[in-house]
Structure 1
Amino acid sequence: MPFRLQGRRGGQPKQKRHRAAACGSSCACKTECSSKTSGTTGKLRGLHRSRAAEVAARFLAASDDRRTLAKTLARTVAATQTVEQRLKEMQLLQQRLEEQNQCLRMSVALHRHVLLHGQHESSGGLHKPSGIASPSSP
């Protein structure tokens, strides 16, 4: 049964007629037909959809977009958490390396002091070890 719409004058109902598609074929209600692209404009001609089909298509596209965005957001959150965890691990590693570096510096300073000044075996005082020349004398 064809759609009935209110006419412009006098409240007379008028019949809604479907336009034939640009390809020349007739379209039934709520169907879709399309022709080849036009050579001059390059646009798709003859696309005919009912309003309900357009709304449904928009809704499906929007829900697909929401699903895609939700998946992307979930991946982003997971990646962010992984990066934050690795950052914490790297900060702990950096702290340990700084502590080890400080210990090595103190050890090097102590060895340098012992090599330069030596240590008295009897009194615990410092002296120049035998066989090592002082930096001032050759």
Structure 2
Amino acid sequence: MPRRWGPAVVLAVLGVVLGVVERNVASPIVFLVLAALVSPRAFPRSVSDAEARERSSQDGRPIIYWRPGCPFCIRLRARVGRLSRRAHWVDIWADPQGAAGVRAITGGDETVPTVVFRGEGFVNPAPARVVEMISSTGR
């Protein structure tokens, strides 16, 4: 659990320290907003890799592997917007099987975001492509 929240906690503490040192309110606010964006709470509820694969085989929705603090995951989440609930999200720091699945797709690296759609893996795909994938499921 601490590993998942680490980036958010570091940003929050840094913001508070800068606010005290600089005696202003802008730094803490900026850093607290950044901390919220990189926290696990900014993403839809994660499921296990096994659950995501099971659900995806039934409903055809993509599986998105991510990890807290990843700037590319944050960019993808922001671009997908409300459609994010129509994908299955797997936090690779919370699910070792998910991390192993990503390594199998990427050739040994834990590069995220990695998206699996209709049995095909995509490493750090363009957000517009993921929106297309999600939209094509029609649900």
Q: TM-score by structure 2 length?
A: 0.20
Q: Larger radius of gyration, structure 1 or 2?
A: 1
- Higher RCO (CA-CA < 8 Å; seq separation 6+): 2
The structure in which a higher percent of residues are helix is: 2
- Structure that is richer in strand per residue: 2
